[in-house]
Amino acid sequence: MPPVAVPNEAPKKSLRIAIIGQSTFAAEVFKLLIKDGHQVVGVFTVLDKGNREDPLATIASQNGIPVFKYKSWRIKGKVIPEVLEEYKSVQADLNVLPFCTQFIPMEVILYPQYQSICYHPSILPRHRGASSVNWTLIEGDTTCGLSIFWADDGLDTGPILLQKSFPCTIDDTVDTIYNKYLYPEGIKALSESVNMVANGTAPKINQTEEGATYDPALFKAETHQIDWSKGGLALHNFIRGLDSSPGATTFIKPQTEDSENIEIKFFGSALWEGEYEAEGDVIIIPGLNKPAVIHDGGLLITANDGVKLNIQRLKVNGKMINAQNFYKANENKVSLELTDEEKQFVENARNIWKAILRIDIDNDTDFFDSGAGSMDVVRLVEEIKDLVNVELQNEDIYMNTTFEEFYTIAILKARGDSSNQEIKYEGVEMEVNKMKIKFATQLFIDGQFVDSDSGKTLTLINPSDESVICKVQSASKNDVDKAVNAAKKAFEEGEWSKISARERGQILFKLADLMEQHKEELATIESIDSGAVYTLALKTHVGMSIETWRYFAGWCDKIQGSTIPINHARPNRNLTLTKKEPIGVCALITPWNYPLMMLSWKMAACLAAGNTVVMKPAAVCPLTALKFAELCVRAGVPRGVVNILPGSGTVSGQALADHPLVRKLGFTGSTEIGQTIMKSCAASNMKKVSLELGGKSPLVIFEDCDMEKAVRNGMASVFFNKGENCIAAGRLFVEESIHDEFVRRVVVETKKMSIGDPLNRGTAHGPQNHKAHMDKLIKFCERGVKEGAKLVYGGNRVDRPGYFFEPTIFTNVTDDMWIAKEESFGPIMIISKFNSKNMDEVIRRANDTEYGLASGVFTKDVSRALQFAEKIDAGTVFINTYNKTDVAAPFGGFKQSGFGKDLGQDALNEYLKTKTVTIEY
């Protein structure tokens, strides 16, 4: 019999309606009937469950409608007289049965003028009975639907009033067809049907017996048992047919001696389309010829006819788990750090639970142990959606049954992540800088901290006292391959590829907030690991990192293409548009001078553009990168999106440059290593590259400068961050008429600099990053003296434990000297004279280098300053200031200082590709 449907029309008259049933579905029908102008004169529903009232009773009470709650309408097959009289008292014109689990006597069904209409979730006469939705899937129907029929004696055989049908795919479950079709369309269909009755247009079409089925209810345990002798498609249909509740069941014997069979329920079946064999632990399932395999994506089952299906979730001993975790022990959870807004959400969610369960809600209150049923799951999902517009799935409730688990998954969903946030790591806890700090010492791959395949480690030294901080795992080539593949999977299949750009931005904002909350800890770790002065680390290393994440979080939903007018293909017309798309898997290799800030400068733009990343921090100071990885988990960054691999440049760095699945590599470091990386990137797969390399930045100080400001900024241009600064002024050109005074003042101020423990709030100059670098600075100074430069101050290691090097000043430096050409990357000021009468000559000297990262000029003459800015060959020009970088200003060099930009809008282009689309119409 074909489905029957007519256009919905407004009712011409108002009917007195009695609603008989229960659930959120019935409550929504109640609201729609009231909205249509009908009068609900009575609601008849089930008894309260403990303190819990049915949602239909609640909405009726709120609207002042009489509510009647019955355990049963009949005794020994006979209607209860008092119940019947109570029902008759409301004088309904029509009974509406939206969702009714009780047997309603015919005396009630036939009593109203227009009798009774009932909702049924199938296309009658197929799948009569209480488990019709389940059987629709178990039988593999390609069409699902609903019927509104004139109620009969409970056999679902009454005449049809209205029917609707919908497509049913091989991947649908009870929840998906209910949420997509049966719930929203069923509510509307009942409203339409009531209006048709009111308008006198409601048909009564007798059901045919052709194709009729009456399927047994799936309430008893024996009806849930899987028959493994069936083919793969039938197994898939059976499992998805029981997916919501109660679950398809089997028993297995675990791989331990003397253990009893355990019951396992299967959920989330999908036909396996992979051409490869999954690898992992095996499970022997009685009845199957081939063992099932636990792998990264679930539990792979091979039916006896060779068809494979993959199971995503298992319920074991009453607890729902991801199938891939079947053999895994319980792991430590990283608790979420909540914003004030999220804390308010938790309390609002607690009130929703309390309204549903009618009990006080603690964090360990279990939803189902407290009496909730499947309809309560629907209500919870809908109320959370109304509260915070978060689209939870029913399975999210089934897998997170305690209140704490529930609000955690809801918050993660709001942040854009639905992945399992369990994480475990081996780390170090220390009491330092009057606080407790904690950080991991393992590689971070695919959302987990893991040991290196090679077993090799890096020994980290505190540069302030030369003590060993800890050992950190060192990534092998195989570890790089794992991380890249995890990033590729996250980019192509994971949550990161599914969420909107705005949701991506929300996650990055959360990450920035967490970095803000942990800024003292991050600055302390940066200090003991890299020698950064703590106060500078707070402001710059960490402070600017936080600003960078917030800046690029704001860019996420503003990345857009354009429309371009092109010639038309007459007589047709054309439209051309461009799309900005993420590149894919990106590799980042960062230096040791600003460990966290260099990570942030590159990774924030990379993630904002929608890419995934594998990052190798400097081998000598990777700890803030590992702490950052932990914060990524807490912020809800999906697994595989960020991977952190401490390791050597020759092994893990080279493996990233060579990897064929990496499509972009961003590097900050020396020019020599940059050249090697560029060759490898070209030879491997022509991957896109951006390089921020060495510098020998000139700073030109004219005689008309503000001397006090020039001295202060000139010192900062060299000594900032112990000289370990890529844009440090590698050579100062001071006009000869003020040269001696400038040098005198600089020496006086340099002698005042306090050298010492970087954690001391009064320290201005901390230790160099590592011993090899300090030794290089000593040799740099020795060569300068040997070449004839005048060592005015410093040039030696400080006589104390740690890698402390004196701030150093050289004068009388000529252009041909080695120290005038090469970068020291340390606190060594190189001063040369010039005559301002020949400005072109000093610019020529300033440009006489293969580097072009930054430059600076101090003068009160605006015309002179702008001429300098125009003619100097450097990516950044500072005028009457120095080191003034900002997250919104592009940063990058010319010539052998590299190419590509960090920071600002330009940085996004480093991690995007432009696609041109032309449409003819």
DSSP letters of 811-838? Answer: ES--TTSHHHHS---SSEEEEEEE-TT-
Residue 494 and residue 485 in contact, taking contact as beta carbons nearer than 8 Å: no
How many CA atoms lie less than 13 Å away from 255 in the CB half-sphere?
A: 9
What letter would DSSP give residue 722? Answer: G
C-alpha 593/C-alpha 694 separation (Å) is 13
263 is catalytic: no
DSSP letters of 632-686? Answer: HHHHTPPTTSEEE----IIIIIHHHHH-TT--EEEEES-HHHHHHHHHHHHHHH-
Residue 458's CB is within 10 A of a number of other CB atoms, namely 19
β pairing state of 94-97 and 308-316: unpaired
Annotated catalytic residue: which of 120, 659, 770, 773? 120
What letter would DSSP give residue 259? Answer: P
From residue 679, alpha-carbon distances to 247, 672, 674 in Å are 56, 11, 9
Q: Which of 633, 637, 541, 546 is nearest to 590 (CA)?
A: 541
C-alpha 340/C-alpha 343 separation (Å) is 5
Residue 13's CB is within 10 A of a number of other CB atoms, namely 11
* Own/partner long-range contacts of 242-246 (Cβ < 8 Å, ≥24 apart): 242/134, 242/138, 242/174, 242/218, 243/137, 243/173, 243/174, 243/175, 243/267, 243/268, 243/269, 244/173, 244/174, 244/175, 244/178, 244/374, 244/394, 245/174, 245/374, 246/218
Phi, psi for 403 (deg, rounded to 5): -60, -40
C-alpha 703/C-alpha 699 separation (Å) is 13
Residue 766 and residue 464 in contact, taking contact as beta carbons nearer than 8 Å: yes
Tokens for 831? 């001063």
Q: Which of 250, 297, 295 is nearest to 270 (CA)?
A: 297
Q: Work out the end-to-end distance of the chain between its first and last CA atoms, rounded to an integer number of angstroms.
A: 42
C-alpha 896/C-alpha 876 separation (Å) is 14
C-alpha 240/C-alpha 136 separation (Å) is 10
User: 403-415 and 501-517 helices cross at what angle (nearest 10)?
Assistant: 120
C-alpha 898/C-alpha 900 separation (Å) is 7
Annotated catalytic residue: which of 168, 621, 726, 781? 726
568 is catalytic: no
Residue 876 and residue 830 in contact, taking contact as beta carbons nearer than 8 Å: no
Place of tokens 């940059």: 674
> For 389-430, where are the alpha helices, taking DSSP H only?
394-399, 403-415
120 is catalytic: yes
> For 465-500, where are the alpha helices, taking DSSP H only?
477-492, 495-498
C-alpha 252/C-alpha 250 separation (Å) is 7
Annotated catalytic residue: which of 526, 692, 823, 910? 692
Write out the catalytic residue numbers.
Answer: 120, 692, 726
